[in-house]
Amino acid sequence: MQLKLEKTGSRAIVYDANRISQPDASLFEPDFWYRSGSVVGKAVGRGNALMLDTPFGPAVLRRYLRGGGAAKFSRDRYLFLGYSRSRPITEATITARLFALGLPVPEVLGGICQRHGLSYSGALLTQRIANVTPLADVLVSGDSGDGMWQRIGHCIRRFHDAGVCHADLNVRNILVDNRNTIWLIDFDRARFLAPNSRKLTNNLQRLLRSLRKQKQLPDAQLDNFWRHLMLGYNSNQRPV
């Protein structure tokens, strides 16, 4: 991956020069992909990220959209404090750094920050990981065993050892592929902290709250899953 930043007028695009030779704003517009017949699905979540088949491989396009009360005032605008501090440029940079560290994250294809006076809008384009299922859907299917939870715990520990604090660690941002590899996605507002920071431990509690919201999990089963997750988290050996 070779990230480059190109600024043109009121727009900044970061892109992988190894995959995209001519970055253009249209790559981040849903209508462009719909017109070309490249949209193959939607991901559940805020804004329904688009699953794409592109000339540079399977991809996911996610626009930055507000939720909650803030969405009543502006659905897709954020306060502009500089291109380098915008959410798409920051997330692209952090995710590329994690990829370079060998952590299980999708490759960054590109990100755009479009300035509108005092505000900006943006989108992120990433590789679509093959044959993955969100943890939330794995729980619905009932196809989760103790080994999977230990792998999840071990995966999270790898990120924490690198000092990465995932801002929204929940059951939709943890993916399991058909080879039982665990992936983390969505590093919007993620930060690098000291590896022993208490905020990293709080990261685990955020995931536990997300799991407790899954009504299909009886308390005893959840406690067992969490115990195995922590076994993986605290183990120095990679689970099989």
Q: Please report the pLDDT score of residue 132 as a whole number.
A: 94
189 and 228 belong to one structural domain: yes
Structural domain includes residue 103: yes
| 216: CATH | 1.10.510.10
Structural domain includes residue 28: yes
182 and 122 belong to one structural domain: no
Q: Please report the pLDDT score of residue 40 as a whole number.
A: 94
pLDDT tens column, 70-89: 545 667 899 999 999 999 99
118 and 151 belong to one structural domain: no
- pLDDT higher than threshold 70 for residue 217: yes
39 and 110 belong to one structural domain: yes
48 and 109 belong to one structural domain: yes
179 and 218 belong to one structural domain: yes
Task: Tell me the average pLDDT across 94-122.
Answer: 96
111 and 22 belong to one structural domain: yes
37 and 150 belong to one structural domain: no
Q: Please report the pLDDT score of residue 46 as a whole number.
A: 53
> Structural domain tally of the chain?
2
Distance, CA of 112 to CA of 118 (rounded, Å): 16
Task: Tell me the average pLDDT across 106-121.
Answer: 96
The parent domain of residue 103 ranges over 3-127
- pLDDT higher than threshold 90 for residue 239: no
- What separation in angstroms does the CA of 22 have from each of 52, 182, 195? 18, 32, 38
Q: Please report the pLDDT score of residue 201 as a whole number.
A: 81
- pLDDT higher than threshold 80 for residue 143: no
- pLDDT higher than threshold 80 for residue 122: yes
110 and 215 belong to one structural domain: no
Structural domain includes residue 240: no
- pLDDT higher than threshold 60 for residue 191: yes
Decide which of 70 and 169 is more confident: 169
Using alpha carbons only, what angle is made at residue 1 by residues 39 and 21, rounded to the nearest 5 degrees? 60
29 and 61 belong to one structural domain: yes
**Nearest CA to 191 among 112, 123, 116, 91?**
91
Structural domain includes residue 211: yes
160 and 123 belong to one structural domain: no
* CB 92 within 8 Å of CB 3: yes
Among residues 80, 105, 127, the one where a domain terminates is: 127
- pLDDT higher than threshold 60 for residue 141: yes
pLDDT tens column, 13-50: 999 999 998 899 999 999 999 999 999 998 866 557 99
Which residues participate in catalysis according to the annotation? 168
Structural domain includes residue 62: yes
36 and 151 belong to one structural domain: no
